[in-house]
Structure formats: structure tokens, C-alpha cells
């Protein structure tokens, strides 16, 4: 399948997961151009769940990364879906 986006949204991320752990996990699937974890690692807010956006260098990594859906990472089953890049401008 050909994806027009290079970005995936990862939900149901454990509150104890760090951006470095996410970078390690998704780095095996392709070169990461940018990664954002919300709330950020240093957030003073109480965190019950995190959302991560991963922007890959190549479109092909999006399809491959979706295979991580339902993979238990830390203590939660991840949900990985393609994300419309036009909406992703907040990263810049």
C-alpha cells in the first residue's frame, strides 16, 4: 500500500514511556525525522496516557510501523495509525 504521509500517530502509550524509548522502538522500522511525545517527558501534569507522533524519512516506514499495533510496550497495547501530514504542522 502506498501512503502519502510519513507520519504515524501512536496512542495508548504508557504514562511511564519516554520519548527515547519510543525513538528506540520505531527506529528499528525506519529513519526517524522527528518524534513528539505528548505530554512531553518533563510535563508537570499528571499523565494517564501518552500520544506519540513519529515522522519517518520514508513513506514505506508508515506501513511497516502499523504492524506494531496491539504490541504490548511497557504495559499497554500500542495503536499505530497513519496521520495526515497537513495537520501535523504544529511540529514546525
Q: Please state, in angstroms and rounded to a whole number, the distance separating the CA atoms of residues 77 and 5.
A: 23
Residue-level pLDDT at 46 = 87
pLDDT at 85: 66
pLDDT at residue 2, as a whole number: 53
Count the domains in the chain: 1
Q: Containing domain of residue 21, as a range?
A: 7-80
Type and span of the H or E element at 29: none
pLDDT tens track, the chain, 92 positions: 555 889 999 999 999 999 999 999 999 999 999 999 999 888 888 889 999 999 999 999 999 999 999 999 999 999 999 998 655 554 44
CATH label of the domain that carries residue 62: 3.30.70.330
Q: Decide if 90 is inside a domain.
A: no
Residue 83 vs residues 6, 30, 53: alpha-carbon distances, Å: 8, 16, 8
pLDDT at 53: 97
Amino acid at each position: 500500500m502506498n501512503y502519502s504521509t510519513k507520519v504515524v500517530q501512536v496512542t495508548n502509550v504508557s504514562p511511564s514511556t519516554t520519548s527515547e524509548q519510543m525513538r528506540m522502538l520505531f527506529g528499528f522500522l525506519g529513519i526517524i525525522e522527528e518524534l513528539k511525545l505528548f505530554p512531553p517527558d518533563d510535563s508537570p501534569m499528571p499523565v494517564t496516557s501518552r500520544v506519540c507522533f513519529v515522522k519517518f524519512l520514508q513513506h514505506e516506514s508508515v506501513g511497516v510501523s502499523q504492524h506494531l499495533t496491539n504490541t504490548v510496550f511497557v504495559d499497554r497495547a500500542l495503536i499505530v495509525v497513519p496521520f495526515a501530514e497537513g495537520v501535523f504542522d504544529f511540529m514546525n
